[in-house]
Amino acid sequence: MSKDLWTWGGTYFGRRERDELWSHHGTHVGRFVGNEVYGPDGRYLGEIKNGKLITQISSKSRRKSPFSRKASRVGHVPCVDHAGTVMYVGYEDFPNPEAL
């Protein structure tokens, strides 16, 4: 199962493959636990809401078990960005792939 994902602001991020999040650069960025995604150090990065990546500010202190990143792989050409969505109160946009 592979699904292309965009941030709440409309920036193409990469793909979810099973429970792994990959940037379009080919970097293993995170692991999903349900709809929430956590970084290799175990910190909460964000979640999927209405099919887009977003970060709930009050959840930023959440932690899960850390894991080792998978080896980087060849990236892919990013899909076209989408129009952003009005931000919910208490949320912020998911980090861009370059920030992770």
pLDDT of residue 100: 85
Mean pLDDT of 75-95: 91
Task: Give dist(CA 96, CA 12) in Å, integer.
Answer: 8
Could you report the per-residue pLDDT of 23-57, keeping only the tens digit for each? 999 999 999 999 999 999 999 999 999 999 999 99
Place of tokens 């965009």: 6
b/e map of 29-61 (b: 16 or more CB within 10 Å)?
bbbbeeebbbbeeeebbbbbbeebbbbbeeeee
Query: % helix / strand / coil in the chain, to the nearest 5?
Result: 5, 40, 55
